[in-house]
């Protein structure tokens, strides 16, 4: 069986390629975690090796002097509020679009989906001007609102896709029992749509958590900044204290990595579905 | 049924909250942005109407043209990494290799990590004193290739494009892999019986049947490359000497550093037009015919 040996070598080569690429994906993260426990001198002497001890001093510096703690809390507040509002309002809109009977539902869907094409850059300056005028510039609201508005297209795309697959009988039975539309929606539809809702929630969360542009523009007060902006300014302020910077990066990345480990199925599905709208 | 599901008040209650927010904070700003781009303004006073002068100036502005050119390089680099390379990796994983799910999860990971953090991670990789890249070159005996990577204006942009490739290869691979998984197994079984090699199977079954997704993916890659911001903002800030400037970073610079809001808004309009053009052109060129397996 000559082909089988050939196939075997082919297989081994492919496997090696995969392993190498997997290492390039993970190794930088491991490198960060390891070096976050070193001192600056150790980093220069020995950037490859293991740290001598697992000293959390750098994390303490990052949190106390670098304000990473404050940034972290701000990021959580902004991301969680944006996720909650986006999920609730986009589910309701998707429900009306996909399950209720009205003439313009299709048009409405297309108007929302159009938003997937819009780069935020085309709205940043007007938003800055509007927020300035209504006096919410430099508040968390100024970052939360545009994230909600730009979260809708993807969220509605995923949710309408799911709602269309729910059998009509469930709602019919509920109507027979005299349920109101709100009861049907919140008590029946939302619970059975949990996987899609979770997908929308994590994809929105990751987008907001990682965003640099909007907080950088709409927030000017250091006490209101989010992690990405904080990291960016940390880099300027302590540009020689590399190890504390590394600790700060680790603290920023950890939440997304944990969420990814737990919900990677939803995240992949959501990010890919939102992308491939055909 | 109709009484509840056709009730105008219910429909409005469900759809309007989202629509109003979306309308005011996503659609209106686009029109308003175009309006601002016709002015010379600091946003506080009414400003001076200048017509299309901002656009005319943009196309005479060497830095903007540089940024536009850099964006084009970004598009080309991303297309190379995210179509052939992602397709290659995806095709390997498609062949039911052991740990396929694990690899897929790992490859996708960089795309969920904050761009600022990715930028900083790679700043450490490129660091000229303790960075991984220079150390690796030293270890494998190519020490004279060592560089101050991100401060060298000849190669800084290239260094950043490498990071973009690294960060999003897995993302595009998963998109393409999802399309491959929709192809019925029976086609491959038939091909195996006919003795078709793996390459022939890829060329005559996989590739033609995922072509429509590749086209969509190409649009995504192009519009995505026009929108990169974080990596450049963190790694080089557009420098050295504007050599890594992108339209997005230049827009930020003009708007929020030199406070030329009208000028900056014009860059926003051009970015929007380019994105719309990419989508529209691809729809025109590749009228995607529905496929049947």
- What SS3 state is found at B184? coil
**CATH number, domain A65-275, options 3.40.50.10860, 1.10.3720.10, 1.20.140.160, 1.20.200.10:** 1.10.3720.10
pLDDT digits (tens, 9 = 90+) for B180-227: 888 888 888 888 888 888 888 888 888 888 888 888 888 888 888 888
Q: Which residues of chain B have pLDDT under 50?
A: none
Q: Are A109 and A161 in contact (CB under 8 A)?
A: no
Is the CB of A212 less than 8 angstroms away from the CB of B288? no
Q: Classify residue B292 by burial, with Cβ atoms within 10 Å: 0-12, 13-18, 19+.
A: exposed
Query: Around Cβ B12, how many Cβ atoms within 10 Å?
Result: 13
pLDDT at A94 over 90: yes
> What tokens were used for B226?
């026009």
Per-residue pLDDT tens digits for A30-72: 888 888 888 888 887 777 778 887 888 888 888 888 888 899 9
Other CB atoms within 10 Å distance of the CB of residue B230:
23
pLDDT at A170 over 70: yes
Q: Is A167 on the interface with B (CB under 8 A)?
A: no
Q: Which class is B43-285 in CATH?
A: mainly alpha
- Sorted by where each begins, the domain ranges of chain B are 43-285
Tell me which long-range contacts B123-132 makes (C-beta under 8 A, separation of at least 24). Answer: B123/A235, B123/B150, B123/B234, B123/B235, B124/A31, B124/A32, B124/A35, B124/A242, B124/A246, B125/A28, B126/B150, B126/B159, B126/B235, B129/A44, B130/A43, B130/A44, B130/A47, B130/A242, B131/A47, B132/A31, B132/A47
Q: What is the pLDDT of residue A140?
A: 94
- What is the end-to-end Cα distance of chain B in Å, rounded? 38
The C-alpha atoms of residue B146 and residue B162 are separated, in whole angstroms, by 17
Pick from B73, B68, B91: nearest CA to B214: B91
Identify the residue among A10, A15, A25, A72 best suited for mutation to test binding to B, counting B beta carbons within 10 A and taking the highest.
Answer: A25
This prediction has a pTM of: 0.89
- What pLDDT does B177 receive? 87
What is the model's pLDDT at position B290? Answer: 54
Which token pair is A233? 């300014």
To the nearest whole Å, the CA of A175 is away from the closest chain B CA by: 7
CB atoms within 10 A of CB B211: 14
Cβ atoms within 10 Å, residue B241:
11
* Residue among B2, B4, B25 minimizing CB distance to A181: B4
B170 chain-A contacts, CB cut-off 8 A? 25
Q: Give bridge partners of residue B40 from the DSSP assignment.
A: B48
Structural contact between residues A160 and A97, judged by C-beta atoms closer than 8 angstroms: yes
Query: Scanning the structure block, which residue is given the tokens 């190379």?
Result: B80
Give the confidence band of A276 by pLDDT, cuts at 50, 70, 90: low
Query: Alpha-carbon distance B181 to A208, whole Å?
Result: 30
Note which residues in 261-290 of chain B have CB less than 8 A from chain A.
261, 264-265, 267-269, 271-272, 275-276, 279, 288
Q: What was the pLDDT predicted at B2?
A: 65
**Among A18, A136, A175, the residue to mutate for chain B (most B Cβ within 10 A):** A18
């Amino acid at each position: 069986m000559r082909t089988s040996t050939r196939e075997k070598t082919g297989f081994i080569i492919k496997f090696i390629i995969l392993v190498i690429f997997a290492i390039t994906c993970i190794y930088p993260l491991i490198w960060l975690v390891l070096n976050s426990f070193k001192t600056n001198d150790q980093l220069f002497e020995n950037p490859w090796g293991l740290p001598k001890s697992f000293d959390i001093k750098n994390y303490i510096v990052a949190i106390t002097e670098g304000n990473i703690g404050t940034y972290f809390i701000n990021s959580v507040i902004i991301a969680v509020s944006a996720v909650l509002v986006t999920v609730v309002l986009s589910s309701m809109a998707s429900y009306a679009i996909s399950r209720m009977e009205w003439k313009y539902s299709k048009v409405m869907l297309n108007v929302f989906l159009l938003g997937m094409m819009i780069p935020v850059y085309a709205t940043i300056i007007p938003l800055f001007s509007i927020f300035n005028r209504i006096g919410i510039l430099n508040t968390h609201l100024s970052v939360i609102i545009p994230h909600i508005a730009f979260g809708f297209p993807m969220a509605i795309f995923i949710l309408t896709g799911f709602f269309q697959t729910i059998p009509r009988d469930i709602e019919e039975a509920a109507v027979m029992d005299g349920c109101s539309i709100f009861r049907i929606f919140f008590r029946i539809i939302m619970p059975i749509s949990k996987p899609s809702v979770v997908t929308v929630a994590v994809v929105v969360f990751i987008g907001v958590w990682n965003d640099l542009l909007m907080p950088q523009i709409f927030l000017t007060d250091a006490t209101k900044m989010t992690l990405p902006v904080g990291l960016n300014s940390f880099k300027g302020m302590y540009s020689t204290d590399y190890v504390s910077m590394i600790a700060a990066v680790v603290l920023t990345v950890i939440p997304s990595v944990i969420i990814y480990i737990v919900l990677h199925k939803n995240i992949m599905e959501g990010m890919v579905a939102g992308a491939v709208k055909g | 049924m109709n009484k509840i599901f056709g009730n105008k008040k219910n429909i409005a209650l469900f759809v309007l909250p989202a629509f109003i927010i979306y309308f005011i904070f996503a659609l209106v700003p686009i029109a308003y942005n175009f309006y601002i781009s016709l002015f010379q303004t600091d946003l506080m006073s009414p400003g001076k109407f200048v017509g299309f002068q901002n656009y005319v100036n943009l196309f005479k502005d060497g830095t903007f043209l540089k940024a536009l050119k850099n964006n084009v390089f970004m598009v080309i680099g991303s297309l190379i990494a995210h179509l052939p390379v992602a397709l290659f990796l995806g095709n390997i994983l498609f062949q039911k290799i052991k740990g396929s799910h694990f690899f897929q999860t790992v490859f996708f990971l960089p795309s969920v990590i904050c761009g600022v953090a990715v930028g900083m991670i790679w700043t450490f990789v490129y660091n000229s004193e303790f960075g991984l890249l220079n150390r690796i070159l030293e270890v494998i005996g190519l020490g004279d290739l060592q560089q101050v990577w991100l401060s060298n204006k000849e190669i800084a942009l290239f260094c950043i494009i490498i990071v973009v490739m690294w960060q999003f290869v897995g993302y595009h691979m998963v998109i393409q892999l999802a399309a491959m998984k929709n192809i019925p197994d029976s086609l491959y079984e038939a091909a195996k019986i006919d003795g078709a090699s793996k390459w022939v199977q890829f060329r005559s079954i996989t590739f033609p049947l995922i072509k429509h997704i590749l086209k969509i993916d190409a649009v995504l890659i192009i519009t995505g490359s026009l929108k990169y911001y974080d990596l450049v903002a963190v790694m080089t800030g557009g420098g050295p000497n504007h050599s890594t400037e992108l339209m997005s970073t230049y827009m930020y610079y003009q708007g929020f550093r030199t406070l030329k809001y009208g000028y900056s808004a014009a860059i926003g309009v051009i970015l929007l037009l380019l994105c719309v053009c990419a989508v529209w052109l691809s729809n025109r060129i590749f009228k995607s015919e529905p496929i049947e397996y």
